[in-house]
Amino acid sequence: MRHGLLFSLMLWSAVAGITDPAQAKPAAAAQEVRAKWAAATEAYQKRDFEEARKAYENLLAEDVADANLYYNLGNVYCQLGQRGKAAWMYERALKAAPRHADARRNLRLARAGLPPANQGTFILFQPLAWLCGFLTSSEWAGLLLGVSLATSLPASLWILLRRGLPRRLAGIGAAAGLGVSVLIACFFAARCADAEWRRYGVVTESGAIVRNAPADNADKYFEAAEGERYLVEDSDLSGWLRVTHPATGRVGYLPESVVGRI
C-alpha cells in the first residue's frame, strides 16, 4: 500500500514535471525575481520600453527561464520596432510553452510578409507537424509514460484471463492503448529529435547577409530577412554559423552576432 502511494506520487510528479522557477529558487531570490518582474511590467505600461527591455533582459541574465518572460520581452522588442529580436523571443516562448496563443499570434505579426515557417513541409505532413509541436518534449514523454502504463493493465488482464467478455474488452483496450502508445512514441521521438539535435536560430538584425563561406570577405549568397528562422547546422566556426533555410534548403554562413539561438 505504502509502495503504491509512493509510486503514485512519483508518477504524479513525473507527469506534472513542472516547477515554478520562482518557487524553485530560495524564497528571497524568488521575491526578488517577482519584484523585478513587476518593475519591468510597470515600465512597459508607462511606455518606457527601454527601461522595460533592460529589466526583462536582466531577468533573462539571471537564468529565469519562463515562457511569459520571453513573451513579454518579445512585446518590448515589438514596441521598439525590433522585429527580429521580437520573433526570436516569441520562438523561445513557444519552445517553452507551445500552446502560448498570444506568442503565436504576435510571432505571426512580427513575421508579417515573410513566408510561413512550415513552407518547406509537405502539405500532408503539416497537420502532423502541428500536432507534434502542440506539446513539449517533456509533455510528450509524460503522456507516453501515462498511456503505456495505462495500456499495460488491460494488456496484462488480456494475457491472464482465459476467455469471456472481460478478456475481450481487455484485448480491445490493450490494442487501442498499444496503437495510441506507438503514435505518441512517434510524436515523442520526433519532438525529442527536434529539441535535442536540431538547433534553430532567428535572424535578429535587418540586412544580414548569408555568405558562401564563414568569412567577412566571402561571396555574398543572399540577404536573410529579419525574423526569419534558420536551421543551425554548425556553430563551431569562430563567430559564424552554418545555417540552412528551412523552406529553400539553401545553405550558407551567418555571423553569430545576428542570429538569436532558440
Of the candidate residues 28, 61, 112, 124, the single one contacting another protein (CB under 8 A): 112
Q: Does 10 bind another protein (CB under 8 A)?
A: yes
Residues 59-98 that bind another protein (CB under 8 A): 64-69, 71-72, 75, 78-83, 96-97
Q: Which of residues 207-236 bind another protein (CB under 8 A)?
A: 207, 212, 217, 219-223, 226
Provide the 10 A C-beta neighbour count for residue 221: 17
At its nearest, how many Å lie between another protein and the CB of residue 219? 5
Residue of 28, 101, 123, 165 that binds another protein (CB under 8 A): 101
248 burial (CB, 10 Å; 0-12 / 13-18 / 19+) is exposed
Residue number, 125 or 204, with CB nearest to another protein: 204
Taking the complex as a whole, the smallest distance from the CB of residue 257 to another protein amounts, in Å, to 19
How far apart are CB 124 and another protein at their closest, in Å? 25
Query: What DSSP string describes 82-106?
Result: -HHHHHHHHHHHHHH-TT-HHHHHH
Spatial separation of the C-alpha atoms in residues 132 and 123, rounded to whole Å: 15
d(CA 236, CA 111) in angstroms, rounded, equals 28
Spatial contact of 21 and 37, defined as CB atoms under 8 Å apart? no
| Cα Rg of the chain, angstroms | 23
- Nearest to another protein of 18, 172 (CB atom): 18
Q: Under the criterion CB under 8 A, does residue 148 sit at the interface with another protein?
A: yes
Q: Which of residues 171-200 bind another protein (CB under 8 A)?
A: 188, 192, 195
Q: Which of 209, 227, 226, 221 is nearest to 249 (CA)?
A: 221
Segment interacting with another protein (CB under 8 A) among 37-45, 118-126, 228-236, 239-247: 37-45
